[in-house]
Structure 1
Amino acid sequence: MAIKKQFLKSKPVCKVTFTVPAEEANKVAVVGSFNEWNEKATPLKKLKNGSFKGTVDLESGKSHEFRYLVDGAYVNELEADGFAWSDYAGAENSVLNI
């Protein structure tokens, strides 16, 4: 899994590209505080190499909690900036510091 951040000079936004290697998966989405944990809001597109990829514009100067939803199972990003416990989920969420 990988995260790439590209900060824009023209506005306080960071383009974050999520890449998830999941050749066996049918559907992958990124859900988080930035899309109200809506599993339909940010689906990732399956590439020919079997990985899923998508880009999201996130507000700079904030921390965003998120997880991947791979065929209905939540998965954390190992390369996240950190992790935060969620009592609601009963698990840790990945954290991006933008």
Structure 2
Amino acid sequence: MPITKQYLKSKPECKVTFTVPAVEADKVEVAGDFNSWNLSELKKYKNGNFKAQFNVPVDQTYQFRYVIDGKWMNEEEADGYQWSDFAAADNSLLKV
């Protein structure tokens, strides 16, 4: 589940693209510090990938998780993981 980062030259932001290969899934969402833990649905493409983009301020670390067909999941290629007492599980980390 790759994440790509494109740092913007015009402002201190990074365009983050979340790509989740989930051919069998009907719905993929992402929630994290960057969207106030509100579920944001990723768009499904014909190749089975789901994608969404967010512009986030740089020089920060964000916690996030995916929700794939109602099941909370971590990003396998995250920049790290951090324990969350609220979730009683690790959250994925995004460092920009």
Q: TM-score, normalised by structure 2?
A: 0.97
How many residues align? The count is: 96
2:14 alignment partner in structure 1: 14
Q: TM-score, normalised by structure 1?
A: 0.95
- Poorly superposed stretches of 4+, deviation over 4 Å: none
1:49 alignment partner in structure 2: 47
**Alignment partner of 1:66: what SS?**
strand
Unaligned 5+ runs, structure 1: none
Residues 1:96 and 2:94 are matched in the alignment: yes
Amino acid at match of 2:74: N
Q: How high is the sequence identity, in percent, across the aligned residues? A: 57
- Shift in Å, 1:83: 0.3
Give the root-mean-square deviation of aligned CA atoms.
0.7
Unaligned 5+ runs, structure 2: none
- Shift in Å, 1:94: 0.3
> Aligned runs of 1:1-98 on 2, under 5 Å?
1-39=1-39, 42-98=40-96
**Alignment partner of 2:34: what SS?**
helix
Amino acid at match of 1:31: A
